[in-house]
Amino acid sequence: MTSQSPFTRALTDPAQPVPAGLVSPRGTADSKRFAVYRNNVHVSLVGALAARFPVTRQLVGEEFFTGMARLYVAQTKPKGPVLIHYGDSFPDFVAQFPPASGLPYLPDLARLEAAWTEAYNAADAIALAPADLSTIAGDALASLDLTLAPSTRLVRSGFPVGTLWSAHQTTPVSIPALSGSECVLLTRPQAHVRLTIIPPAACAFLEAIGQGRTLGQAAEAVLTVFPDFDPGAALVGLAGLGAFTTLTKELADV
């Protein structure tokens, strides 16, 4: 019996001949017929990457992107049929892809796009509203453990990737200055993903909260690095962007 193993090997390695036992109606092996399957696999998976990394693609052009994506597809197949997760390791591949080294911001831009899809598909949750915090006394607030919303993502970059990404959401694209680091926060407060460039101190604060520190511990840690940091303002701002889930009953009663 023609096993699916040689079929798969020939499918993913164009150097291999058409597997034995596969024929045209003339009874002969036919490379163009088998090439339809090879092409379907590559084109559909490159298409999945193009859909997840549209700005990366715009930045390098379609031809370059397709060439880069084909190499990724050749070495990394989806783990399963849910393609919204396909390409999680594509940003790391871009970082190691020598022809892209002239665009040092490209891997982080791709990381931002990967995170955007995660935020888009993350579980629904009710966001903590800034007003929810106003009822909590100061010392209770300091001992509060907030939970990040399932859609909250942070991307830190040595390049202004948030600004660069935003510039590509409109036409014509006006290319921003490509220097300066950025902390990009993705949230999904209502129906849509929202991108906000936040100050480094607020980013460190959010990371500390995400690591399970109480608000008081997180504020203290950030203040040692950023003495001017205002935890109260940051908390209200981040909550307003939908970065946290609502308090459970138990916590709200603290």
Partner 1 sequence: MPFDTLPARPGLGLKPQHYAQILANKPDLGFFEVHAENYMGEGGPPHRYLAAICENYPLSLHGVGLSIGGEAPLDRDHLKRLRALVERYQPASFSEHLAWSSHDEGYLNDLLPVPYTPQTLDRVVSHVDEVQQVLGRRMLLENPSTYVLFEESTIEEVDFLAAIADRTGCGLLLDVNNVMVSAVNHRLDPVAYIDRFPVHHVGEIHLAGYDETTDDAGERLLIDAHGSRVRPDVFERYRHTIIRTGALPTLIEWDNNVPAFDVLMDEVRLVGEVLDGTLNRRLAS
Q: Which residues bind partner 1 (CB under 8 A)?
A: 1-5, 7-8, 11-12, 18, 21-28, 30-34, 36-37, 40-41, 44-45, 47-48, 77-84, 119-125, 150-151, 188, 191-192
- Name which of 123 and 177 has its Cβ closer to partner 1: 123
- Name which of 11 and 251 has its Cβ closer to partner 1: 11
How many angstroms separate the CA atoms of 209 and 190, rounded? 22
How many angstroms separate the CA atoms of 118 and 135, rounded? 32
- Shortest Å, Cβ 92 to partner 1: 17
> Per DSSP, what are the bridge partners of residue 196?
185
Tokens of 27: 């009874």
- Name which of 28 and 171 has its Cβ closer to partner 1: 28
- Cis? peptide before 104, omega within 30° of 0: no
- Name which of 152 and 157 has its Cβ closer to partner 1: 152
- Name which of 22 and 223 has its Cβ closer to partner 1: 22
- Shortest Å, Cβ 48 to partner 1: 7
- Shortest Å, Cβ 172 to partner 1: 22
- Which backbone phi and psi does 201 adopt, to 5 degrees? -65, -40
* Sign of the torsion formed by the C-alpha atoms of 204, 186, 75 and 62: negative
Cβ-contact 29, 17 below 8 angstroms: yes
- Shortest Å, Cβ 19 to partner 1: 9
How many angstroms separate the CA atoms of 57 and 175, rounded? 15
How many angstroms separate the CA atoms of 133 and 254, rounded? 11
Cβ-contact 159, 128 below 8 angstroms: no
Cβ-contact 54, 65 below 8 angstroms: no
- Name which of 21 and 180 has its Cβ closer to partner 1: 21
- Shortest Å, Cβ 192 to partner 1: 7
